[in-house]
Amino acid sequence: MEAESDQQQPRISVRGIVMYGGKLLCVRQKQYSDPSSPPNDFWNTPGGGLEPGESLQAGLAREMMEETGVAADIGNLLYTQQFRHN
């Protein structure tokens, strides 16, 4: 059993849903993996990891601006998901 200090801290990320003209805005992302592996791009809604101490709303607003250049109005929380990577 690992000591508590040896365990990784959870990484919290946020994603936003942007609808415009009946279409869902998505961003193409690259999965970071072994350089010798074939590309593993995927599509996702805009967002990313929170900075330490950052609120969900502030983090999403920052990520939306960074990824899309849009100063988004952040609405209500839609859902949460927990994922553990081993």
Read off the pLDDT of residues 27-80 as tens digits, 9 standing for 90 and up.
988 876 677 777 778 899 999 999 999 999 999 999 999 999 989 899 999 988
Nearest to 59 by CA among 77, 44, 81, 41: 77
- In angstroms, the CA 17 to CA 54 distance is 20
State pTM to two decimals.
Answer: 0.74
Q: How far apart are the first and last CA of the chain?
A: 15
SS3 breakdown of the chain: % helix, strand, coil, rounded to 5? 20, 20, 60
